[in-house]
Amino acid sequence: MTSPGGGWAVQHLTGTAAAFHGRELPSRVARRVWVHEVTGPAVVLGSTQPLEAVDRGAADAAGVAVVRRRSGGGAVLVEPGGVVWVDVVVPPGDRLWDDDVARAFAWVGEAWATALHRVGVTGAAVHRGALVSTPWSRLVCFGGLGPGEVTRHGHKVVGIAQRRTRHGARFQCAVPLVWDPSVLLTLLHLEPGERSRGRRDLLGRAAAVTVPADALVEAFLSSLPD
């Protein structure tokens, strides 16, 4: 475990998406960051999504695990080398804690926008408005836009979900290094025509960040508030 300053304890973890999402917050939470590197592909469903949203036959045939996270939002496909996945935890009473659940995302998004600028990605902006719903946002995380999430030239490039307990707030962040929504859509229960429409729509709503993962993670850690 290392610390980038500001009281942040950082762990770099390697394992399955199921193991990472199964991690519990300790009873005594301090500022911490978990950087996850997955060992295999997985479709990660939001806390309220039905398992039936996934075509299990297609997922099994492709060797893709199906996992549920405890935070909300739509499905995300995580693959080795395909996404930067970082969880950030703050305890109640921390100056970064905000009782307003929507407003609580803002500082996380600001840290990501700063990190993107530091690695040469221009045009990153934090969404400060209300939740933006689309025909695909209930099914696919990157189909919609929530408070604190980051866009670049109108395309979502950082997705953030939040889970709060009496022990703390856990912000789960995903930055796609590859964005091909057709891969995820083939694993969901959809008609062929819906997949084609979905791909066109989602290509217009999200984009990949084409920088080295290690450089982006280091930039994010150095952008965290003291």
Please name which of 148, 149, 120, 125 lies closest in space to residue 212, comparing C-alpha atoms: 120
What pLDDT digit, counting tens, does each position of 80-99 carry?
Answer: 999 999 999 999 999 999 99
3-state secondary structure of 165: strand
Distances (CA, A) of 90 to 114, 123, 161, 223, 226: 19, 28, 14, 15, 12
What domains can you pick out in the chain, each with its CATH number? 9-223 (3.30.930.10)
Minimum mean pLDDT range among 21-30, 77-86, 169-178: 21-30
Give percent of the chain with pLDDT exceeding 70: 97
Per cent of the chain over pLDDT 90 is: 86
Distances (CA, A) of 20 to 25, 39, 55, 216: 11, 11, 23, 20
Residue 6 pLDDT class (50, 70, 90 cuts): low
Give the separation between CA 121 and CA 3, rounded to whole angstroms.
25
- Is the pLDDT confidence value at 5 over 70? no
The span from the CA of 78 to the CA of 86, in Å, is 12
Query: What pLDDT is stored for residue 166 in this prediction?
Result: 87
